[in-house]
């Protein structure tokens, strides 16, 4: 019992152990996982870029000159990221914190408690990235006019995806540790729905210039930077917020949400 492994090694092993546990649980739930991440973008693309153009009047954004599909692609990726982050962290956390206190055994692992929370964020960010990438092939095959992402700036895509996915996980952590299990269902209607509808998902931020107050108000919504960042990465033909604003904003929101989420988590597990 006295062979002391160097602490850093143990920390890494603990972290990987936690990741493997989550992977195991996810692998049992692969069907629901795919439905969860796939259904929304699938239906959205089908209705707005396939069904609508076939109806009289064409697509709702026909007048802008850019296909609605191109506007929708980064937006749907942003929603996928956000949605995965919240369902992969906030929902399980709220049950694990609940009467079953299932999180206890992980909290008792030989690492600082924050590691357990950070693992949750990292694991959920992997799911978010998969969910976002899954939107790309859908956009190529479903719409009446296929949408091909421009992957020339793949490095920007990678940076935005990583930051956004971590941000979504951190938001899930914050929500999961603050909202009681009883109210977790409400989270979707009072947080997720508003921030996606007002997150420049279905319209670029620039188009809001006619409604100035709204254009300013949505700047407090982190989803805006996810959508706009992805927009400048995959659909550069659509006008988007400059990268030098998007990236610092993503980093700032990420920092704030991680701090806030960790504090809530620690408060829940250590009394």
Partner 1 sequence: MRTWPHFQGVRTGVWYTVIVEIEALTKVYEGKQRVKAVDGIDLSVQAGEIFGLLGPNGAGKTTTISIATTRTLPTSGTVRIAGVDVVRHPAEARRLIGVVPQYNTLDRSLTIYENIYYHCRYFGFSHGQARERSDELLTQFLLAERRKAYPSQLSGGLAQRVQIARAIAHRPTVLFLDEPSAGLDPQSRLAMWTAVQQLRKEGITVVLTTHYMEEADSLSDRVAIVDHGRMLALGSPQKLKETFGAQTVIHLALRQMDQVEALAAGLRGQAGIQNVEVVSDGVRVFSTSSEGLLQELVHAAAPHGLRDIAIAEPSLETVFIQLTGRDLRE
Residues that bind partner 1 (CB under 8 A): 1-2, 4-5, 7, 9-10, 13-14, 16-18, 20-21, 24-25, 28, 100-102, 104-113, 269-271
How near is the Cβ of 19 to partner 1 at its closest, in Å? 10
Instruction: Give 98 or 236: the residue with its C-beta nearer to partner 1.
Output: 98
Q: How far is the CB of 218 from partner 1 (least distance, A)?
A: 37
Pick 104 or 150: Cβ nearer partner 1 = 104
Q: How does DSSP assign 98-117, residue by residue?
A: STT-TTHHHHTSSS-HHHHH
Q: Which of 166, 226, 173 lies closest to 195, judged by CA? A: 226
CB 95 within 8 A of CB 177: no
Cβ proximity to partner 1, 114 vs 158, nearer residue: 114
Smallest gap, in angstroms, from Cβ of residue 255 to partner 1? Answer: 24
Nearest to 224 by CA among 205, 243, 252: 205
Give me the least distance between CB of 244 and partner 1, in Å please.
40
- Comparing CB distances to partner 1, the nearer of 76 and 113 is 113
What's the rounded Cα separation, in Å, for the pair 71 and 259?
Answer: 32
The C-alpha atoms of residue 80 and residue 98 are separated, in whole angstroms, by: 27
To 10 degrees, what angle do helices 68-85 and 30-45 make? Answer: 150
Looking at the Cβ atoms of 107 and 147, the one nearer to partner 1 is: 107
CB of 4 to partner 1, least distance (A): 6
């Amino acid at each position: 019992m006295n062979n002391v492994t160097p602490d850093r090694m143990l920390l890494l092993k603990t972290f990987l152990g936690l990741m493997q546990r989550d992977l195991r649980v996810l692998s049992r739930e692969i069907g629901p996982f795919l439905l969860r991440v796939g259904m929304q973008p699938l239906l959205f693309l089908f209705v707005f870029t396939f069904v609508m153009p076939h109806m009289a009047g064409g697509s709702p954004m026909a007048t802008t000159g850019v296909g609605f599909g191109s506007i929708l692609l980064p937006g749907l990726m942003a929603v996928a990221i956000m949605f995965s982050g919240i369902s992969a962290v906030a929902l399980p956390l709220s049950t694990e914190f609940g009467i079953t206190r299932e999180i206890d055994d992980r909290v008792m692992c030989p690492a600082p408690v924050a590691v357990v929370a950070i693992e949750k964020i990292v694991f959920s960010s992997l799911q978010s990235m998969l969910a976002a990438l899954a939107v790309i092939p859908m956009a190529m095959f479903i719409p009446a006019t296929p949408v091909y992402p421009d992957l020339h700036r793949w490095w920007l895509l990678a940076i935005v995806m990583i930051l956004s996915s971590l941000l979504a996980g951190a938001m899930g952590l914050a929500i999961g540790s603050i909202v009681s299990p009883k109210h977790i269902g409400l989270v979707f209607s009072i947080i997720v729905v508003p921030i996606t509808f007002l997150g420049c998902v279905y319209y670029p931020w620039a188009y809001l210039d006619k409604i100035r107050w709204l254009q300013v108000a949505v700047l407090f919504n982190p989803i805006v930077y996810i959508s706009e960042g992805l927009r400048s990465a995959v659909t550069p033909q659509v006008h988007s917020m400059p990268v030098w604003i998007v990236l610092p904003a993503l980093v700032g929101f990420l920092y704030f949400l991680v701090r806030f989420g960790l504090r809530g988590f620690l408060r829940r597990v250590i009394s």
